[in-house]
Structure 1
């Protein structure tokens, strides 16, 4: 029995813990970024964030694949399953569309970071360069044949339908 304190909890309590841990992870990520930005500026903070996401997103994808038993080259079906088990899926509202068998579109309907900035009347955080690395590395880890394209992500102008959107294709 590895975690006896968890074994006694209800499903709802366990889900609450998962959500809290996702929020804590995001809070740490944001605080780390803000500290780097204060000391070195926004450009350097984004550069270092990209470097961290290159490694983290691959680690996350591999752990999800192992947990779900997804084989390498599991295509867009594998990517769809994996996207639903990412850490921030627990705190962000996302929508996945499959317009055809070669395409998957992920829309981040509500991003916790961008929603907080909206509430504070701040400009959206320009996460596009980080997102390009994050999503392309995640998808390539699931299946190296998957190509990733940004539909829109801040600093791009976005619609009221989503905070960012990504298109994944496989030939």
Structure 2
């Protein structure tokens, strides 16, 4: 580790720092998005968000996959483990449900939408971005995954969560 100050922290302080870093990461994501949104509008901001997530989510998934030492075909268990190590896992309350070759991932409480609501802003229409984000993340963990949005703004079909995603592991029959 190159930061000697951090390497000397106790576990409880390291955990607090992870929380701070995760919130800072999300703040940066929101600040650049809102900058484009204010100047060029929501459609332009979403287009850039999609482009950014297409690249970022693969980087994030690859690093997590190496960190967890997951095999190339990590399957349902690998995806479940990897989702728990995303930056979002430190920020949002989530739930994972597994049944056979399907994993349902729900964000029960979304920090992004909460912040936009608090500021009196229109909700982030995150479905199109989420399809890219979650599909690319899952396929990086295991290329056999198909991903679909079950409920995500602006198309909320499940009022028990902010969004819900279905990952199906497509295995040979």
Does the CA-based 8 Å contact 2:46-2:129 persist in structure 1? yes
Structure 2: where are the runs of 5+ without partners?
Answer: none
Per-residue deviation, 1:158 = 4.7
1:14-29 pair list within 5 angstroms:
14-29=14-29
Q: Deviations over 1:20-39 (max 9, x none)?
A: 01111111111100111122
Per-residue deviation, 1:76 = 1.1
Per-residue deviation, 1:8 = 2.4
For the pair 1:71 / 2:90, whether they are aligned, the reply is no
CA distance in 2, matches of 1:125, 1:44: 13
Aligned length: 170
User: How large is the Cα RMSD of the aligned pairs?
Assistant: 1.4
Q: Deviations over 1:76-130 (max 9, x none)?
A: 11110000000121011111001x2210000001110112233345442211100
Tell me the residue number matched to 1:161: 160
CA distance in 2, matches of 1:40, 1:117: 18
Per-residue deviation, 1:71 = 1.4
CA distance in 2, matches of 1:5, 1:148: 41
Per-residue deviation, 1:67 = 0.6
Please give the secondary structure, in 2, of the residue aligned with 1:139. helix
- Runs of 4 or more consecutive aligned structure 1 residues displaced over 4 Å after TM superposition: none
Structure 1: where are the runs of 5+ without partners?
Answer: none
